[in-house]
A and B are shown apart, each in its own frame.
Chain A
Amino acid sequence: DSGVTQTPKHLITATGQRVTLRCSPRSGDLSVYWYQQSLDQGLQFLIQYYNGEERAKGNILERFSAQQFPDLHSELNLSSLELGDSALYFCASSPLDFLNTGELFFGEGSRLTVL
């Protein structure tokens, strides 16, 4: 158990809909990262937040948005869903000494299926 909690574990929805994925980082971790894992694209970095502020942005679509709340949990919002958005979405958090070790702690992921 990494200490990172993601909900829901599975989600099935239709094209055009909107969903919200939630992540609670490990206790004490200020940074939250979102990654998308699909069969044809591998593990793609989406976005990172540090203590409530956006720190780095990757290949995140405009239809997607994220935020980190004062209690440090984060939400990833996916809207106008398309079939190609079906993937496993991972959240990871990092400890305060991240810049030394670079270790990310991953949740078990939220599997999104768009029909």
Chain B
Amino acid sequence: GEDVEQSLFLSVREGDSSVINCTYTDSSSTYLYWYKQEPGAGLQLLTYIFSNMDMKQDQRLTVLLNKKDKHLSLRIADTQTGDSAIYFCAERRSSASKIIFGSGTRLSIRP
């Protein structure tokens, strides 16, 4: 199947870490992505990870991949108000060009 699942909402306090989780079902998925959608805008690629990697770090962002459990997470350190957005997890098989997105997790930041 081609299902990517995420929780719909997450609320964190400013300065704390945010962890957004995602599960996918296609074990042949080779590329996994995190996209960010700010209010009134289209999606923008935040980061991606290949399935042969366990972790990828990019400044405040850390992506963890558990291929056995088909679980992907995005950690945002020191969450700021500018991080308020919808975060989409997505997957793609190496043989395919289409990207399948999850429903998105709306991250809200409280003071």
Contacts and interface: CB of A to CB of B under 8 A. Distances in A.
Interface of A: 2, 4, 31, 33, 35, 41-45, 48, 50, 55-56, 58, 90, 92, 94, 98-99, 101-104, 106-109
A31 B92 CA distance: 16
Contacts of A103: 45, 48
A108 B98 contact: no
Contact of B98 (A2, A41, A58): A58
Contacts of A2: 42, 44
B44 A33 contact: no
Of all A-B residue pairs in the complex, the 7 with the closest CB atoms, nearest first, are A106-B42, A42-B103, A43-B101, A56-B98, A106-B43, A103-B45, A102-B31
Contacts of A55: 97
B61 interface: no
Given A42-B102, A45-B99, A55-B97, A108 B40 contact: yes
Interface size class of B (residues with CB under 8 A): 20 to 34
B42 A33 contact: no
B33 interface: yes
Contacts of A41: 103
Interface string B77-107: 0000000000010001000111111111000
